[in-house]
Structure 1
Amino acid sequence: MAVIDLPQANGTNGAHADPRRILLISIPRTASNLLLKILNIPKQPNLLTSPKGGYFFYPAFLENAAAGLQFEKPGDQWTKEEKNKAQESFQKCLDSLEEWSTKANDENQVMFSKEHAYWMFSPAALQEHNTGVHDEEFFKSFRVNTPEKYSETKTYSASNQTIFSDEYLQSWKMAFIIRHPALAWPSMYRAMLKLHAVGMIDEDGVKGSSFTHMTMKWTRMLYDWCLEQPDAPVAPPVIDAHDLIHHPEVVLQLCDQLGLDKNVVQFEWKDKNEPKKSLQWATHNPDATAEEVKFHQTGASFMLSTLEESTGIVKDKAPETIDIEAELVKWKEEFGEEVGLLVYQAVKSSMPDYEYLTARRLTV
């Protein structure tokens, strides 16, 4: 891949900056790890990423949950200490991402990261989502300090409810992966149940972690923010997991838009000697204790089980047609009446955003 000049700090935008820094926006259970496997991210020339392929803000999600910080709690019930703790956890994640990004720049490489959309949004955004009330002071409590090399000024447009300034988001070339909610949401709940079964999260955490993620609101907000940026010639690329599985050649278009090397793309992988990604996730931190390594490896193995056991794309994970009403009957039987209905309601409420995004996806 040709070396790409760094974009200037001003005048670029998240959807259309030169792809010196690539940010893939995902949602749990959308086949995003499959996408990274097909793109063969570790073998992409002149590309740098973490052993997880990103997920720099995952530690903040864990830390805030471990500290008992309930993001759904009304803003006026947060103590100053709670706000500071959440902001500090976000800041540590941003600082780690910037260390990697600086390394990429020093080595003349492209920085790549994958992040779940919700992890980058302010807790104040969830409050506004639940109440319809915008509390600017509450938003300010969680914003991170970004390096001035991206911009000395920091603005926050109305559509930007993340912890970052507009200028910082503009320094990334964004892409998105989505999946039909009737496939993603029940899969997410099953994964949370597995984590609960081994003691990684409590019963409240199963519902809390699941249903705060069961929305495409955050993905659409970031997508629409990209469209609002000045001098935007094209929309950011969107990949639907259904196309990824049934028409994987769609990733070649994604490579064209992101400046990735199509020659290393793979649709099969048969190397049984390759270290499991879940083990890489768990051991990349040299300061982690044996207990922490085991904790993270267990969680990662649940999330990556299908991919790690495969030698190629598993098509039965993406049925051609989905009848949501028929699925409701199955969810009630699998999860119980209450949770089955909650999953159904989350799916139905997510469909407008999903249909909006999938109508704008890359197609073969």
Structure 2
Amino acid sequence: MNEPIDITLDAARRMFEAAKRIVVLTHERPDADCLGAGAALVLAGRKLGKKAFALNPDEIPDRLKPAAGFSGENDEQKDGRLPVYITGEPAESIADAVSCFNPDLIIAADTAELSLLGDYAPVFSGCVGLKIDHHPPRDNFGAFNCVDDTVSSCCEIIFRMLHPLGVIDKEIAAALYAGIIADSGNFKYPAVTADTHLAAAALIETGISHSDISERMFGKRTEKDLAGLRVALDTLERFSCPRRDGKEIGCASIFISNADKEKYSLDDADLSGLHSFARDIEGVDVGVTIKQMTDEPTKFKLSFRSSKTNVSLICEQLGGGGHARASGGAVEAESPEEAKRLIREAIERYGEPIID
């Protein structure tokens, strides 16, 4: 296999323009950024006369549907005979469907590494022609890779790619706007720049209702949201920990057990709003959400959030990675207490201040 090649956004745009049949891949446990990027690429491709659809191994949570090409009125995808997204199908079925579709370009959007495609990863190993992402490059699994980890969201990159083509209508704008506000923390994260606001302004000028999109995604809490919050409050632990540079920092963790998930019928989508909960407590720099894996009870999935400590460096030592202020990883442990001990050790050994 040839070595992967890093390319510019202009080169990525030319690849997109040249393709006739496109499949867009997005990561498991989808968020608004990956869904919005995928939907925008599909809808833009169809406006340019291409055949296109997007895939995700999981179902799309209701609150994220504004990012995934659903209309706000009836949540139906109405673009042509194919839906914008095909979701939750077995890998074998997807392999057959993609083979029959015979794409000339497969794009991975907002997907830092191949394994994040979940069950679909083996299907598309060695097949991705173009990777577009804003995470620090760990696995440039595309033949060509357009990665800019200084940008707030993948949707902002896709906006820059599509804007010169003149194809961004209200439907595409809604998907991109949803992804931008989600991954920028409603424009409060440090990666937000003047260009982020200019992109949002251009999207609003298409006539989208930015307030409706925000309301659907963030405005209401469900009963399951409240159940997750109850678990977070019940399991919250605060502690201080010396960082690698010797600075003592405030930390906090919450723990979601399989028993809690079963008791309240919680899944990953219900818990996604808790990732920043521990970090947002006054006096806390590093917050960690610890989730016991349903099918592997001795494995714990970790979501780190930070204000001043580079948690990407920590998570890289825990089998993961991500952004300086938002990263994920996992640990094998016989108990939650052991998992917490491993987290403390990782912060002490690998935690370093963020250098902006």
TM-score (norm. length: structure 1): 0.28
TM-score (norm. length: structure 2): 0.28
Specify which structure has the higher proportion of strand: 2
Greater RCO (CA < 8 Å, at least 6 residues apart): 1
